[in-house]
Amino acid sequence: MPHPAPRQNSMHKMNVPDQNLDGITPNSDPMNQPTRRLGIRRISKTVLATISILLVFLLVIAASVYVWGRESSEPFAYHALQRVTVRPSRASTQGGLPAEKDANHNPKAPTVEFFIDFACPDCAELDEILVPTLRTLQRDRQINVQVHPIDFLDSSENDHYSKRTASAAMYIAEHEPNRLLDFTSAMLDQKFQSTHANGTHLSNSVIQQQAIRAGVSPSVAKHATDGTYDLYVAKATKYTTSRRDLFVDVDGHRRFSTPTIAINGKLWQYRQLSDIHDVPDALVSSIGLTKEQAGTTALPSIGAHGSALPIGNRASGWKTGFRKPGDFPTEPVSADESEEGNHTAPDAVEPMKSDSEYQTEIHFLG
């Protein structure tokens, strides 16, 4: 009796590949295994390289923010100003330029500091109204005057006018300090300044001309625009604009703005006045003089170190932003009515006539 063939296990007939630990089947192409591993390694390296680049980028940003914040800080800016070697010899440690000779300085009198940018229209208006009173008080040694010309409105778009004029003011302060206020007023003359505000390029020779009109000697005027104090202007601007003790409210923000006045080193809040034409009398009162005492030998009661006296109960909040002469409101205005910043409305500048002497450059200094 024939014996039946033994039954084979059905599992032996099934061609089911065994799985190895790498997920690669025994029948797989062996060449694929290193290729896949190489691909994985390449992807890993790409991811790591991307992460590394991102980390470096973030570190660069963090370092830049740190350096910018450090350089913008008041202490750092102050020390940077002190390190400038080419500087006006009579400048204060805070960058103020005495507007009188040493012989005319009164150590018992208060010091009035005038912070300006020669491209600032508001500075021109305040200069026209206030400087005659400053001259009177200075002439009789009732006050000492310091001018702080800065260039925070400077840019390549305005041909670095602020820097060039501020540097010129420093040169004049160094060589003919008794002409500094004359030069300042000449540069801030509203007719002259509006020429620049309307887009006319004012070359160095035009600045020299204006200096000579102000009484500066031709030899000093010729070299005033050489850029001798450009670096000092830059450092003085950085420091001045970082001084929180000079910050004022501008459109709801605390920041530096021109024009600014300080008395004995402390901010004088002239913006509390409702009318700019009240500033001269208010300043006389704030240093401790009566109107009748201005221009006499009377010494201001606050002396050389006292704080300015309160301005008093006057309407507050005159409008910031450029205005034409006589265009100051007599009533307080809201923040919504004020322009952005103090110097952003060149369209409000009254255009010059075509025959103006300031629109024709006369190159006579060579």
Mapping DSSP onto H, E and C, the string for 318-341 reads CCCCCCCCCCCCCCCCCHHHCCCC
**41 assigned to some structural domain:** no
pLDDT above 90 coverage of the chain, percent: 60
Q: Read off the CATH number of the domain in which 140 is found.
A: 3.40.30.10
pLDDT value, residue 162: 96
**18 assigned to some structural domain:** no
Averaged pLDDT score across all residues of the chain: 80
Distance CA 152, CA 154 (A): 5
**276 assigned to some structural domain:** yes
Residue 107 reports pLDDT greater than 70? yes
Tally of domains in the chain: 1
pLDDT value, residue 329: 34
* Structural domain of 246: 97-348
Confidence grade of residue 25 (pLDDT, cut at 50, 70, 90): low
Residue 264: C-alpha distances to residues 299, 321, 351 (Å): 14, 27, 38
**60 assigned to some structural domain:** no
Q: pTM of the prediction?
A: 0.69
**How does DSSP assign 255-300, residue by residue?**
E--SSEEEETTEE--GGGSS-GGGHHHHHHHHTT--GGGTTSSPPP
Residue 32 reports pLDDT greater than 80? no
Distance CA 208, CA 218 (A): 8
Comparing C-alpha atoms, which of 252, 234, 242, 237 is closest to residue 341?
Answer: 252
pLDDT tens-digit profile of 174-188? 999 999 999 999 999
Residue 48 reports pLDDT greater than 60? yes
Q: Which two tokens mark 96? A: 């103020």
**61 assigned to some structural domain:** no
Evaluate whether 238 touches 80 at the Cβ level (below 8 Å).
Answer: yes
**87 assigned to some structural domain:** no
Phi/psi for 251 (5° steps) reads 55, 40
pLDDT value, residue 251: 87
**30 assigned to some structural domain:** no
**249 assigned to some structural domain:** yes
